[in-house]
Structure 1
Amino acid sequence: MERRRLLNTGAGFTLAAVAGQTITPSAAHAATTPKAATAPADDRSTAGHRCSGAPVSTYGVASLTAAIVGTTVLGNHAYLVARGQNPTLVGEIDLTTRKLTRTFRLDRGDGGWAATVSGGQVYIGTYPFPDIHRIDPGTGTVTRIGTIGPAGGFVWCLTTAPDGTVYAGTSPRGEVWEYKPQTGTLRNLGAAMAGEQYVRAIAADDQYVYAGTLPRGYIVAYDRTTGVRRSITPEPYGGASALIARGGRVLGSFGRSIVDLAPDGSDAHVIPIPAPERIADAMTVTADGTLYCVGRPSGTVYRREGDTLVKVAAPATGDEHRALVPLPDGKMLGAVGSGRLWWLNLRTGTSELVELIDVGLSGPDPVQSIAYESGGSVHVGGHYSLTTHQPAHGTSKRIRIPGEPKQLRAIGGKVYAAMYPSTEFLEIDPRRGRVRSMGFIENDQQRPTDMAYVPEQDLVLVASAPPAGGLKGALTLVERSRGRLTVHKDVITDQSVMSVALDDRPGHRIAYLAGDTWGGGSVTPTRPDATVVAYDLRRRTVLWEATPVEGNASIQHIEVHKGVLYGVYKRRSGSWFAMDIETRTILKTGKLPSYGEISVHFGQVYASVFGGSVYRLGPIEPGSGEAELVLGGLGDGWYNPPQLAWERATWYAWGVATRALARLRLDPLCPSGTPSQLTAQYEAVLKGLLAN
């Protein structure tokens, strides 16, 4: 599920997509590296000296992306919706010259997963405002037709019926909408299926519009005239990802199966996808009626032969696909989520590939994760990339990786990344540009949420959440030297594992895990309150479980300092607490404007939260007051809850200011800035996050 961020476009620089290429940040963003601060002192008489200089220094775009979501083709042009650009950016690519010919800006939004063509017009469905926009390629005009759901919602899919009527599927209300270009009217056909929050795939024929739902995976047929709907699914097949109505049949990708059935649900054929794949994320049918699909995570194109899928080629390995489109010359066009287009000769199996970042459809990426390495390297995770910055030298290097690195850690000259949605655990050598897979978490997990390193055991701990429709998260133990992953599922009963923190007291081999009763979303929680468990790393068992503060369903992040566990909630957003580990009593509670991640540095406890602010929470002492603002006004360039990557011996941490890599002075004696004001865009982002 997309984690949508408040985005602010800024001056960028062209960044080559190939691993190992060196680039230089724009002079507009580059700054001289500040001199390292001396070891922190507690004497307030030194504050004037400590507080000299700018509290924020920026070093160019943190991560550049050409990632795309919605894709459609009109004539000899492909229309690609960029991911994470605000307001939403659409690129027009000439399929003959393979060049970017035009770009269009919609009036708001972060992107759009849905795209279709009707009557020579291009239609785009967006998020976090669930709008439908129309682009007229002839005049270059862009029109917002209407909004078809609450702020924070998504238009996930669009299709065009034979008569030109456009249909849309949405979340979080799981509705189908109809737009008639001839009359300009919008009609809500209602929710597809009780309990299904997503209409994730959609198709239409002369009589019906078909909705594919998620998480369970039903096909619901709506009569296009009366609006009457009924499920035609013999049984739920797993979450929908693609749907086609063609030749009197309905074909869909659901879970690990391709489903082929009649419009009334009869004569169902269920074709399993090949074992390496988790889903088929794009499908098409050629003029001769042959079904093609592409599998994730391999990126392999398959052709249906009878009730089996036969491998054709793999033009873009290890990537997500947004669309497959048969072209008039007999070739197949593929649109790749990381920002690539390929052309496949179906007869010979040969292919050609174009990087969109090289043709100019790129922009600053909302940041996924960040890590600082002794020696001055700063590693930034973006969509399908790791960018290693050397701020002192003014250079950066971009490495392609398969997916979204939700968490990064720099250990022993290597960078370790926990990936979404594949759950792959990667070891990256940034100096050589090498990427090695250490395996997959799997076990019905999808979203890595936190990571911790136990040096004395050379052990990496990874917290994770299930996909939509699941409640049971996991703790994965990665033995770094042996390359072995051990997964402990449902370690917090019926909760995602959102965060993992290590006991900082000598001799304590305990990890603390924080839960989320919502799991992967789209399912009713079985527990009333989020809990924390103590996990014995020697015995690998749970020692105890506690509810820090009742009435809170989701803990976002925790950290431990001197026997006190600090936590911040996602639901209720921004509530925080400090709990004595031995007695499990609450020492203090408070409220932040939003939620994010907690870190400890030089005995101080910090919370970096959405909205671009960093607060000091502790240490908790007699008479300590509310959370104190240390630095504000950073904007919001984060895709995930904001993180801090601390320098070991200074009051500085690395983070993001809007979308620029930034060195942040976080000396508690030198507060700076004011809390960020929430815009309508940002409020929509947070609503979308809290709906899932």
Structure 2
Amino acid sequence: MDRRRLLSAGGALGLAAAAAPLLGPTAHAAPAGPRTTVTDLGPAIEQFALMSGLLVGDTVYIGSRNQQPTRVIGFHLPTRKVVSRTDLGSGHSVQALAADPTGRYLYAGILTKADEGKPNLFRWDLSTPGRPAAGIGRTGDRDIRELAVAPDGTVYAVGGVPGDAPALWMYDPGTGEVTGLGVPDPKATLARAVAATDTTVYFGAGSVLAGGDGASRACLYAYDRASGAFTDITPKELTRDPSLRELAVHGDRLLASTSGSTEHAKLAVLDLADPSAYTLMPTEGGVVKNLTAAGDRIFFATDAGLYSCTPATRTVTPLAHDGPDLGEIWGLDHAGGTLAVVSGYGFVGEVDIAAGTAVITELGSAGAPVTPQTTMGIAADHRYAYVGGNNVIARHDLRTGEVRNLRAPGEAKDAEVLNGVLYTGQYNSQGIWRYAPGPGGGPRRAAGFPGEQNRPLDICWDDVNRLLLVAVQSDTEGGGALWTYSPGKAEGTAYVNPVDADQTVRAVAARDGVAYLGGDNPSARGPRGTVVAVDPVGGRERWRIDLPLALGVAALAVRGRHLYGLTRRGGFFVIDTRSRRLVHTADHRALCPGFAAMVTSRNVVYGVSDTTLFRFHPETFAVSTVVAAIDGAWYSGPHVNADRDGRLYTMRGHRLVRVDDRPVFGA
């Protein structure tokens, strides 16, 4: 049956019932004396990773990212030292920081991976920095993306939780209560911007995640604090972008910026007394954020660097400086003719606007705690193993044990090493990056692709067509793409929506010149679980199978004529690529409670989940555990890769491990 017939036959039982054939009993391979050696290669990535920055007085407060415990540090600008620190008790990152009007209290909002039931809103009394911040409440939206404090000290928070529209939340310091004030846009998927005055709270949202499927575009609402009513005040030009990115009140003006997708991001300057009167500023780049102002000048960051603008003349000017690339900027504040820049590369930059000079202070050297970080893509050859993180790729020298952090913008979601050269798929909208060890410097961009095709998820090498293949998701528009890149020709191509307009391409595998794509759908509605065979040279579809899956494909691997697949919750299937038939299914939820990755090594297909490294019998497809309780510290799903000798690389906790597995399969 094809998908339409399956859904029709399922009737009221729905898609979950149609998925029943892929949830058969689990088969386990009989032990046959495998020889498995696990080598600990040390912490995978160590740095002070960060996600927010705010200047209060003469100290920049900086929130950590993807580290345990989450923490906020205070970097003192006059001495260029870390002078204070508080550890928080929940979540993985601190994206939102805001100070009350007196400068005494710093509020921090937390991002979490799951509903921990713990506070996600904290307050740190800066008059006694030696005392830890206190958890003061929890918003119903799991993640807090932005905070604002009104002149009377009332705190407002926005964020989101997968599957629900974001609300506006209020913390009253007088009563200590957190209150939901309503959902202004039921079709929005995430809110990342909030600002407040005595009378009004401004709420900015959109669909920077889980876009498409009817999700809202950039939207801006004014919340009347007296009446509790929301009013849509979105400038029409901003609605072409997927999401409001940042809001700030400066005097009698409201500054509103967006994240772009198919167009450049926008910056609008609105009159607070009459929001329908606004000035749209010309900008470049995919995002405008970190808004700060001094006098008649507005300063902001884009993915291309720092800019200033003057609304009266609608002029926008790049701010040049003599320092290094500032990377992904998470904090920008103006004081006394200097911009304090908090870089995702792990440093604070002080940029003298008039002189164009910059002083860079590495936070690790200044006293920030350098600790292991959760990780992303992994790749290895005979000499080096690489691990992707936030704005960094850690290079492990397999001969000497030396670890070097390579700076690369965004996140290396997956990677491959080809003839000693590392290639990565970089989120967000960074394309494919290349790094060749030696005197040539750090990673460099090898190929760019449409900006809305922003989230690379899986990479493999097509040795017939000599192409690097990348599975990609479009966060803002829905659907996805197949990227191809020829290292020999230094050329890249994007095939958009090769599965369909709803399904992202979450997994890719290649054999005999054919690319196999695994479809998934982050939204609650629409098709998922389609497997498509594609000619990667011209993008022509060869065949497809609509699998009856309640959840989409998480990983694919090929061995001989068989295409192995895992779903996002442990469903396992095998397709005979010659007959194009489904020949095996099983339920491996005990090993794969969520996302998984697979690789073929030494003619055996291996898989890794959040909990376990396992292999499949090449004849019976039965599963057996290679390393139990591996419990890798992953940020965006587990990964496993192999070097040219077939040794596997993955994570055990926060540590990179090499697994030399030589199974002897029984009958």
Q: Does residue 63 of the first structure (1) align with residue 45 of the second (2)?
A: yes
Alpha-carbon distance, 1:457 to partner: 3.0
Amino acid across the alignment from 2:97: A
Q: Does residue 631 of the first structure (1) align with residue 639 of the second (2)?
A: no
> Could you tell me how far apart the structure 1 residues matched to 2:253 and 2:309 are?
17
Alpha-carbon distance, 1:485 to partner: 1.1
> Could you tell me how far apart the structure 2 residues matched to 1:331 and 1:644 are?
45
Alpha-carbon distance, 1:43 to partner: 13
> Could you tell me how far apart the structure 1 residues matched to 2:286 and 2:472 are?
18
Amino acid across the alignment from 1:562: G
Q: Aligned residue for 1:509?
A: 513
> Could you tell me how far apart the structure 2 residues matched to 1:620 and 1:248 are?
72
> Could you tell me how far apart the structure 1 residues matched to 2:189 and 2:537 are?
41
Q: Which moved more, 1:556-565 or 1:428-437?
A: 428-437
Superposed CA deviations along residues 129-176 of structure 1, whole A, max 9, x for unmatched, are: 5710111123323210111125xx210000111111111111024111
Alpha-carbon distance, 1:606 to partner: 1.7
Q: Aligned residue for 1:23?
A: none
Instruction: Give the secondary structure class of the aligned counterpart of 1:141.
Output: coil
> Could you tell me how far apart the structure 1 residues matched to 2:537 and 2:389 are?
35
Q: Aligned residue for 2:380?
A: 372
> Could you tell me how far apart the structure 1 residues matched to 2:31 and 2:609 are?
27
> Could you tell me how far apart the structure 1 residues matched to 2:490 and 2:76 are?
45
> In the TM superposition, what are the counterparts of 1:94-493 in structure 2 within 5 Å?
94-118=76-100, 119=102, 120-128=104-112, 131-139=120-128, 140-149=131-140, 153-172=142-161, 173-215=165-207, 216-235=217-236, 236-238=239-241, 239-254=243-258, 255=260, 256-263=265-272, 264-274=274-284, 277-286=285-294, 288-296=295-303, 298-305=304-311, 306-314=313-321, 317=325, 319-327=327-335, 329-361=336-368, 362-374=370-382, 376-432=383-439, 433-468=441-476, 470-493=477-500
Q: Does residue 564 of the first structure (1) align with residue 562 of the second (2)?
A: yes
Instruction: Give the secondary structure class of the aligned counterpart of 2:365.
Output: helix
Alpha-carbon distance, 1:237 to partner: 4.3
TM-score of the superposition, structure 2-length normalised?
A: 0.85
Alpha-carbon distance, 1:111 to partner: 1.3
> Could you tell me how far apart the structure 1 residues matched to 2:429 and 2:365 are?
26
Amino acid across the alignment from 1:127: L
Task: Identify if the C-alpha distance between structure 1 residues 131 and 669 changes in structure 2 by more than 3 Å, giving closer, same or farther.
Answer: farther
> Could you tell me how far apart the structure 2 residues matched to 1:247 and 1:237 are?
27
> Unaligned stretches of 5+ in structure 2?
1-28, 208-216
> Could you tell me how far apart the structure 1 residues matched to 2:184 and 2:576 are?
47
> Could you tell me how far apart the structure 1 residues matched to 2:588 and 2:310 are?
55
- Give the paired residue count: 599
Q: Is the 8 A contact 1:281 1:320 kept in 2?
A: no
Task: Identify if the C-alpha distance between structure 1 residues 480 and 649 changes in structure 2 by more than 3 Å, giving closer, same or farther.
Answer: closer
Amino acid across the alignment from 2:132: T
Q: Which moved more, 1:117-126 or 1:313-322?
A: 313-322
Amino acid across the alignment from 1:462: V
Q: Aligned residue for 1:35?
A: none
Alpha-carbon distance, 1:538 to partner: 4.6
Superposed CA deviations along residues 636-665 of structure 1, whole A, max 9, x for unmatched, are: 311232222224446x42221111121224
Alpha-carbon distance, 1:93 to partner: 0.9
Superposed CA deviations along residues 486-525 of structure 1, whole A, max 9, x for unmatched, are: 111111111211111112xxxx32111111223xx5xx64
Task: Identify if the C-alpha distance between structure 1 residues 126 and 316 changes in structure 2 by more than 3 Å, giving closer, same or farther.
Answer: farther
Amino acid across the alignment from 1:633: A
Q: Is the 8 A contact 2:326 2:343 kept in 1?
A: no
Q: Is the 8 A contact 2:379 2:643 kept in 1?
A: no
Alpha-carbon distance, 1:620 to partner: 4.8
Q: Aligned residue for 1:584?
A: 581
Q: Is the 8 A contact 1:548 1:577 kept in 2?
A: no
Amino acid across the alignment from 2:310: R
Amino acid across the alignment from 2:580: T
Alpha-carbon distance, 1:668 to partner: 4.5
Amino acid across the alignment from 2:109: G
Task: Identify if the C-alpha distance between structure 1 residues 162 and 444 changes in structure 2 by more than 3 Å, giving closer, same or farther.
Answer: same
Q: Aligned residue for 1:604?
A: 604
Amino acid across the alignment from 2:587: G
> Could you tell me how far apart the structure 1 residues matched to 2:619 and 2:139 are?
47
> Could you tell me how far apart the structure 2 residues matched to 1:647 and 1:43 are?
27
Q: Is the 8 A contact 1:473 1:490 kept in 2?
A: yes
Q: Is the 8 A contact 1:202 1:210 kept in 2?
A: yes
Q: Does residue 83 of the first structure (1) align with residue 77 of the second (2)?
A: no
Q: Aligned residue for 1:659?
A: 654
Task: Identify if the C-alpha distance between structure 1 residues 289 and 182 changes in structure 2 by more than 3 Å, giving closer, same or farther.
Answer: farther
> Could you tell me how far apart the structure 2 residues matched to 1:180 and 1:334 are?
31
Q: Which moved more, 1:487-496 or 1:354-363?
A: 354-363
Q: Is the 8 A contact 1:445 1:474 kept in 2?
A: yes
> Could you tell me how far apart the structure 2 residues matched to 1:347 and 1:457 are?
53
> Unaligned stretches of 5+ in structure 1?
1-41, 671-692
Q: Is the 8 A contact 1:528 1:551 kept in 2?
A: no
Q: Is the 8 A contact 1:251 1:260 kept in 2?
A: yes
Q: Aligned residue for 1:531?
A: 530
Task: Identify if the C-alpha distance between structure 1 residues 568 and 381 changes in structure 2 by more than 3 Å, giving closer, same or farther.
Answer: same
Q: Which moved more, 1:490-499 or 1:356-365?
A: 356-365
> Could you tell me how far apart the structure 1 residues matched to 2:575 and 2:432 are?
32
Alpha-carbon distance, 1:345 to partner: 1.5
Q: Which moved more, 1:580-589 or 1:136-145?
A: 580-589
> Could you tell me how far apart the structure 2 residues matched to 1:647 and 1:482 are?
24
Alpha-carbon distance, 1:584 to partner: 2.5
TM-score of the superposition, structure 1-length normalised?
A: 0.82
Instruction: Give the secondary structure class of the aligned counterpart of 1:313.
Output: coil
Q: Aligned residue for 2:13?
A: none
Task: Identify if the C-alpha distance between structure 1 residues 237 and 289 changes in structure 2 by more than 3 Å, giving closer, same or farther.
Answer: farther
Task: Identify if the C-alpha distance between structure 1 residues 586 and 273 changes in structure 2 by more than 3 Å, giving closer, same or farther.
Answer: farther
> Could you tell me how far apart the structure 1 residues matched to 2:353 and 2:514 are?
56
Alpha-carbon distance, 1:272 to partner: 2.8
Instruction: Give the secondary structure class of the aligned counterpart of 1:422.
Output: coil
> Could you tell me how far apart the structure 1 residues matched to 2:531 and 2:315 are?
46
Q: Which moved more, 1:263-272 or 1:402-411?
A: 263-272
Alpha-carbon distance, 1:407 to partner: 1.4
> Could you tell me how far apart the structure 2 residues matched to 1:545 and 1:244 are?
49
Q: Which moved more, 1:205-214 or 1:63-72?
A: 63-72
Amino acid across the alignment from 1:290: R
Q: Which moved more, 1:140-149 or 1:301-310?
A: 301-310
> Could you tell me how far apart the structure 2 residues matched to 1:195 and 1:60 are?
45
Q: Aligned residue for 1:677?
A: none
Q: Does residue 541 of the first structure (1) align with residue 551 of the second (2)?
A: no
> In the TM superposition, what are the counterparts of 1:17-28 in structure 2 within 5 Å?
none
> Could you tell me how far apart the structure 2 residues matched to 1:360 and 1:661 are?
25
Quote the RMSD (CA, aligned, Å): 2.3
Amino acid across the alignment from 2:69: P
Amino acid across the alignment from 2:566: V
Instruction: Give the secondary structure class of the aligned counterpart of 1:358.
Output: helix
